[in-house]
């Protein structure tokens, strides 16, 4: 999609703080995180709505999210990794993975911009 910010990230037209990648998916830090380490997992193929993915694509995306969640849980101090999907902010299927420590912490209204130095620090922690 021409104006899709995630497609522009995938084409490397816009930089991102990449955490993980395979042939079909990319995981990168959300620049407006709910909590530090908030990561987005996106399929490299543009699809507007998560549930329009084929069963195979959907399963592969969920397994990619599971792999990334394991990285987050291991390297970020958190009790759980929360999962969110709503799809209104960007019209490209994606999964939010948010390190959380208590109930009601997975709240998109808590999202706020994070400076690039802090994002880079978190990226380094997750990829080293």
> Long-range contacts of range 108-112, CB-CB < 8 Å, 24 or more positions apart?
108/34, 108/84, 110/34, 110/35, 111/30, 111/32, 111/33, 111/34, 111/38, 112/32, 112/33
Q: Among residues 96, 124, 126, which one has the least CA distance to residue 35?
A: 96
pLDDT at 1: 64
| Residue 15 domain boundaries | 5-127
What stretches in the chain show pLDDT beneath 50? none
pLDDT at 125: 93
pLDDT at 18: 98
What CATH number corresponds to the domain at position 55? 3.30.428.10
**Based on the structure, what is the number of domains in the chain?**
1
- Identify the helix (H) or strand (E) that includes residue 126: helix 116-127
Active-site residue set: 94
Question: What is the helix, strand, coil percentage profile of the chain, to 5?
Answer: 35, 20, 45
């Amino acid at each position: 999609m021409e104006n899709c910010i995630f497609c522009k990230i995938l084409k490397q037209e816009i930089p991102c703080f990449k955490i993980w990648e395979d042939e079909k998916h990319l995981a990168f830090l959300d620049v407006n995180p709910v909590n530090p380490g908030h990561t987005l997992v996106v399929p490299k193929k543009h699809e507007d709505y998560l549930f329009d993915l084929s069963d195979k694509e959907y399963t592969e995306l969920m397994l990619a999210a599971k792999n990334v969640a394991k990285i987050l849980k291991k390297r970020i101090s958190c009790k759980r990794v929360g999962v969110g999907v709503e799809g209104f902010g960007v019209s490209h299927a994606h999964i939010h993975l948010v390190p959380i420590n208590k109930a009601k912490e997975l709240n998109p209204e808590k999202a706020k911009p994070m400076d690039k130095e802090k994002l880079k620090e978190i990226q380094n922690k997750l990829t080293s």
